[in-house]
Amino acid sequence: MADAMSSTHQNVKQLAVRLEDKGLLRIKQDPENRRMLRLEPTGRFHEFWAGRDERDAATLKSLFDSLDDEEVKILFNVFSKLEEASKQRYMEYRAR
């Protein structure tokens, strides 16, 4: 997880502990490699995200309703460039 987030193991563990305290996931030791921890989503995690689907979709739709077609195309191009730059940074980080 730390690698995927381009973060340190310590930072990810702190975040995971907070999420575990809120009941959103469980931190478990891997039975085959006791140094490795596994993150397991809980029922509360799934309830949280299931309850957000409709509200989040409506909120996003209302935001994009204020844009015309040309503005949406420009925004898409900007996000595409940011995604590519992010991938490059991630690959550079992994190569260290």
94 confidence band (pLDDT: 50, 70, 90)? confident
DSSP character string of 52-88: HHHHHHHHHHHHHTTS-HHHHHHHHHHHHHHHHHHHH
Claim: this prediction has a pTM higher than 0.75: no
Confidence of residue 15 (pLDDT cuts 50, 70, 90): very high
pLDDT for the residue numbered 3: 80
Which tens digit of pLDDT belongs to each residue from 38-89? 999 999 999 988 878 888 889 989 999 999 999 999 999 999 999 999 989 8
Q: What is the pLDDT of residue 37?
A: 92
- Residue 85, strand partner residues: none
Report d(CA 37, CA 1) in Å as an integer: 10
- The pLDDT, as a whole number, for residue 7 is 83
